[in-house]
Structure 1
Amino acid sequence: MSRTVGVIGMGYVGLTLTAALARKGYVVHGVDVQPAVLRALAAGRPHIFEPGVAEAFAEHINRSIFVDSALPAGTVDATVICVSTPVDEHTRRPNLTNLAAAARLVGQSCTAETLVVVRSTVPVGASRAVVLPPLLEAWGSGVRLVMAPERTIQGQALRELVELPQVIGGLDDESLQAGVALFEGLAERIVPVSSLEAAEMVKLSNNCHTDLIYAYGNEVALIAERHGLDPLEVIRAANLDYPRPDLARPGYVGGGCLSKDPYLMVGSAGDTPPFLVERARRLNEHLPVHVATRVVEHLRELRGATRGLRLSVLGWAYKGWPPTDDMRGTPIEAMMPIFTEAGLVVLGHDPMVSDTVVRQYGGEPVSLDKAFSEADAVLVVNDHPDYRAIRLDAVLGGHRPALIFDSWRILDEPAVRAAGIRYAGIGYAAGAAPTAAGA
C-alpha cells in the first residue's frame, strides 16, 4: 500500500485530505503555489476553518505532513490532484488550466511508478483528456491513473472522509487496484466503478441533485409568496407522513461546489444542454437577488426613502451550519449591489468571518447586540448556532428595527411581531395578503 502521498493544491479538498491521511499514518507532502498559504501551514496554522484540521496540522506538521511549492522528486508513491477547477464568471465554461498545470507538475516530478489520483471535480472526460496526455508525454506508457472524487460536507469533512463510501474509477484494472489499495487505508468502504468517466459523473450527479432539491424548495417559496402563503406551512404539510421524497425548505445554495459543479455538468452534456441542471442553478442564484429586492421593498413601505438607512446583515459565510468561514457562493455578494443602489448602509456580523472580509464585501463590522439596536432593519442570511440562540429581549433596545427578515425562520416570530417589528422570510411576510396575481 502507498504510504507516502503527494497532495497538489492546499485548498479545502487538499487540506482536509492531507489532515485525514496524516491521522491514518500516511506521510503527506502538500503542494501549493501561494506563499502565504505555505507559510501558514508550515507554522501549523491552516488558512481554512474545518473542525479537526488545525489539531491535525499542529500534531503532524514537519513530522508526517510537509508543505512546499513542489513535490520532492521521486519520493511519493501516489499523488492526488486537488486543484481548483473554476468556471468563467461570464461564460460559465470550465477553466481547467490548473488541472493541466498540476498534471504537468506530476509528470516532471514523478515516474510511471507513481499512482496519480484526480480528486478535483471535473467535467466528464477531463481526467482522460486533460490529465492523461501530459503523463503519457512525460513517461511514455505505464501510467496508473484514477479518479476518486471528494464528496464531503464542510464541518464534517474529517469524519466523512473515513465514513463515506469512496468511489474510485481507473484508467485500467491495474490503476483501479492501486487506487483501491491507497484509499483502503483511509475509508471504511470502497466503491469501484467501471471507468474514470463514471467516477467523474458520480460527483457531478451528487452535487447537481442537491442543487435541484434545494431549487425546488425555493420554487415553492417563490410561488407561495405570490399567493400570500407561508411556504414552510405548505412544505411541512406536504412532507408529514407522506411516503415520497421530502420537499426541501427554501434557502440559499452556495459554497465552492454547488455554485460551480452544475456548470461542469452542463459542460459535460455537449451539444444537448440539460433540461434541469442549469435552470435550477439559475433559480438558486436568483434567490439572493430576490431577497435583497424584497428587503428594500419592505423598507420603502415602512420608512419611505431608503437612502442612509442602516441594514444589519447577520451571516456572511455562505452557510451557518455546520459553521464555516467559506465565502464562496455567499449570498451577500449578489445582494450588495442592490443594497448599494438603494443607498443602504450595510452593517455586517458573522461569528466565523473576520472584520477584514466583511469590509472587503462592502460591510461595516458590528457586534451582535448593536446589529439590532443600531439598525433600521436586520437580515438573517445564515443559520449559525449563535443566531439560533438569539433571545430578542436581550438584543432589542429602545431603538428597534422596523423589519427583521429571517431567511431561515429561526427567530421567535411571535416575539418579533409583539415588539412591533415586521417579520418576513423567504417567500413569506407575516400577515401578507394574496397579491393580484395570486387572488
Structure 2
Amino acid sequence: MEVTVIGTGYVGLVAGSCLAGAGNRVTCADVDEARIRRLNSGEVPIYEPGLEALIAENLAAGRLRFTTDAAEGIRTAEVIFIAVGTPPGEDGFADLDFVRAAAGTIGEHLRPHAVVVTKSTVPVGTNEIVRAEIARRTDVPFHMCANPEFLKEGDAVADFMYPDRVVCGVDAESARERMTELYEPFRRSGNPLIFMDIPSAELTKYAANAMLAARISLMNQFAELCERTGADIERVRRGIGSDPRIGPAFLYAGAGYGGSCLPKDVQALIRSAAERDLDLTILRAVNETNDRQKTLLVRKIRRRFGEDLSGRRFALWGLAFKPRTDDMRAAPSRAIVAALRERGASIVAHDPVAMDPARDIYLGDEVEYGADEYETLDGADALVLATEWLQYRRPDWAAVGERLARRIVFDGRNLFDPEGMAELGFEYYPVGRRQIGPEVVA
C-alpha cells in the first residue's frame, strides 16, 4: 500500500518505519530540512530502542523515504497519516496549528478516495476541523479516520509491531476496509482492531492517558498518607495490585509522571471539557497532585538540610522522564533541578542517554555532568535518584559511600529497601516508605 506520513517526530518516525517494515511503500515528509537530511543519512534524531535499525533496513530496501516535499507523497498515497506535534498552548489546550497546516497541504494534492488519518493526539472535534480544511481546497472525495497512538517511549517499536489493540474511528465502510488491510500484518496474535465513530476514537486516547495519570497520582497521595501513618506504599501496592479488578500496572509511587503525553493530555482534556462547561474535578486534582509530587524530593531535602541550600552539592541520577528514552519533556528532574538551584544548590547529573538534551536545556554552568554515575558523587552532600534506569538499581554501595561527602540518598523511585540501606549505614529517604534519618536541619 502507498502510505504517506506527515511529521517525522516521535510518532511519525515509529509509525512510518513500522508500516514500511510490513511491506508498505512509505513516504515520511517534514518541513525541517536539516532533520530530513539527517534521516536520509541514517541518523535518527531521537533515542528509541530498535528504531535506528528498523529505519536503516527499510531505507536500504527502498520501502521508506524521507522528503521535504509532502505533495509528492500525498499525490500517490492511499492512506495519509497526520503525525505532527500538538504542543500545549499557554491555556493548556492542544495547539492545532501544525495539524491545520498539514490538512491544508493534503487538500491541495489529495488523490480521490484516499483515507486521511489523524495519528496526532488531538481533542474531540479535531477530525472535523481537518475535514473542513481539506474540503476547502479540493472537490475530490476522501474519508477521515481517527487512529490514536498508544506507544510507550522506550518500547514504541514493539508496541506498534505487536499492539494490544488498535483503535480506529471511521466515517465510512471503505475507510474501515482500508484500515483493516493496513493493520492486518500487526494483528497476527489476535489482539483487537476496534472500530468506532470518530469522536469516540478521539476521546479514547485522552481517556486512556487520564486513567493512567489518575492511578499514579492516587498512589502518590496514598504514599504521603503512608509516611504519616507508618504504612509502606510498596506493601500497599502489592496488596491492591493483586486484585484482578485493579491490576498492578501504573501503581508505583514516586516523583511524579512526565513525558510528552500524560501531562499534556490531562491538561488538554481539562481544557476541552471546560470549553463545554464541564469541570473535570478529578482530573484537576490529578494534575495538581502531580505538579506537587515533582518537588517532593526537594521538600525532603529542605527538611534535612534547611531552606538555604547555598554551598550544598547534590548528585542527580536520571534526567529523562523515564528509562529507555532521552525525552525530558515535563520530566520530574527538571522540577528538582529548578527548585534546588532556586535555593542556591549546585547539581552534578548523569543519565545514560539524556545528557545531550539536558545540555540544550541547561546552558552554561547551570548543571554539571558526570562521565558516569559514580563521578557525580564526588563531594556531594547527597544522592538524588530521579529516573529508574537499570544501571542505577544495583550500585556499588561501598563506592557510593566513599565518594559522597555524606551517606544520604533521596530515592524518587523506591528502588532500594529501607532496612537494607540502614544496615549499609545510609540515611535513606524514599517515597511512602520508612524514612531512615533524622530529617532535621544539619
Partner SS state of residue 138, structure 1: coil
Instruction: Measure, in 2, the Cα distance between the counterparts of 1:425 and 1:51.
Output: 29
- Any conservation in 2 of the 1:183–1:190 contact (CA below 8 Å)? no
**Match 1:200 to one of 193, 199, 202:** 202
> What RMSD over aligned residues (CA atoms) do the two structures have, in Å?
2.4
Q: What pairs up with 1:235-246 in 2 under 5 angstroms?
A: 235-236=237-238, 238-239=239-240, 242=243, 244-246=245-247
Task: State which of 290, 295, 300 in structure 1 corresponds to 2:301.
Answer: 295
Q: Which residue of 2 aligns with 1:47?
A: 45
Structure 2: how far apart are the matches of 1:339 and 1:386? 25
Give 1:35's aligned residue. 33
- 2-structure distance, mates of 1:343, 1:196: 51
Change (3 A) 1:399 1:431: closer
Where does residue 16 of structure 1 map in the other structure? 14
Matching of residues 225-264 of structure 1 within 5 Å: 225-236=227-238, 238-239=239-240, 242=243, 244-246=245-247, 248-251=251-254, 252-264=256-268
Matching residue's letter, 2:14: T
**CA deviation after TM superposition for structure 1 residue 187, in Å:** 4.0
Letter in 1 for 2:31: V
Q: How is 1:357-436 mapped onto 2 (pairs within 5 angstroms)?
A: 357-358=358-359, 360-361=361-362, 362-366=366-370, 367-397=372-402, 399-411=404-416, 413-431=418-436
Q: What CA distance in whole angstroms lies between the structure 2 residues aligned with 1:398 and 1:199?
A: 53
More divergent stretch after superposition (207-216 vs 349-358): 349-358
Q: Which residue of 2 aligns with 1:5?
A: 3
Instruction: Report matched runs for 1:247-286 at 5 Å.
Output: 248-251=251-254, 252-269=256-273, 270-286=276-292
Which residue identity is paired with 1:282?
E
Letter in 1 for 2:414: R
Amino acid at match of 2:260: G
- Structure 2 residue 100 is the aligned partner of structure 1 residue 95: no
What secondary structure sits across from 1:151 in the alignment? coil
1:305 & 1:420 partners in 2: Cα distance?
26
Q: CA deviation at 1:38?
A: 1.2
Verify the 8 A CA contact 2:76 2:111 in the aligned structure 1.
no
- The offset of 1:181, in angstroms, is 2.3
How far has the Cα of 1:285 moved from its partner? Answer: 2.1
- Kept after mapping to 1: 8 A contact 2:3/2:26: yes
The two structures have a TM-score, normalised by structure 2, of 0.89
User: 2:181 is aligned with what amino acid?
Assistant: A
2:130 is aligned to 131
Counterpart residue number, 2:118:
118
For 1:35, the aligned partner's letter is E
Decide whether the 8 Å contact of 1:180 with 1:190 is kept in 2. Answer: no
Contact 1:176–1:192 (8 Å) recurs in 2: no
Deviates more, 1:119-128 or 1:281-290: 281-290
Assess, with a 3 A threshold, how the Cα gap between structure 1 residues 24 and 190 changes in structure 2: closer, same or farther: same
CA distance in 2, matches of 1:50, 1:425: 29
**C-alpha displacement at 1:28, in angstroms?**
1.0
What amino acid is aligned across from residue 222 of structure 2 in structure 1?
Answer: V
Give the structure 1 partner of residue 23 of structure 2: 25
C-alpha contact (below 8 Å) 1:170/1:179 kept by paired residues: no
Give deviations 1:386-430, integer Å, cap 9, x for gaps.
Answer: 101212123331644342001112135445334443100123452
Structure 2: distance between partners of 1:96 and 1:64: 30
Output the CA distance in 2 between the equivalents of 1:119 and 1:64.
20
State the alpha-carbon separation in 2 of the partners of residues 172 and 33 from structure 1: 31
| SS, match of residue 255 in structure 1 | coil
**Distance change (3 Å), C-alpha of 1:429 and 1:312:** farther
The one-letter amino acid paired with 2:19 is L
Q: Percent identity, aligned pairs only?
A: 26
Deviations 1:138-197 (A, max 9, x none): 222522111111112122222221322211111222222222222224444452433111
Partner residue of 1:315? 318
Q: CA deviation at 1:113?
A: 3.0
> Contact conserved, 2:401 with 2:407, CA < 8 A, in 1?
no
Shift of 1:357: 1.9
Deviates more, 1:5-14 or 1:170-179: 170-179
Following superposition, the deviation at residue 356 of structure 1 comes to: 5.7
Deviation at 1:340, TM superposition (A): 1.1
Distance in 1, matches of 2:379 and 2:68, equals 47
Contact 1:359–1:365 under 8 Å retained in 2: no
Distance (whole Å) between structure 1 residues aligned to residue 331 and residue 403 of structure 2:
32
TM-score (norm 1): 0.90
Return the alpha-carbon distance in structure 2 between the equivalents of residues 358 and 225 of structure 1: 35
Separation in 1, partners of 2:394, 2:218 = 28
CA contact (8 A) 1:346 1:363 kept: yes
The answer (yes or no) to whether the contact 1:221–1:427 under 8 Å persists in 2 is: yes
CA contact (8 A) 1:310 1:375 kept: yes
Kept after mapping to 1: 8 A contact 2:5/2:26: yes
Q: Is the 8 A contact 1:149 1:199 kept in 2?
A: yes
State the 1:265 CA deviation: 2.0
Q: What is the distance in 1 between the residues matched to 2:237 and 2:168?
A: 37
Q: Partners in 1 of 2:148 and 2:310 — Cα distance?
A: 48
Distance 1:143 1:279 in 2: 41
Report the Cα offset of residue 12 of structure 1: 0.9
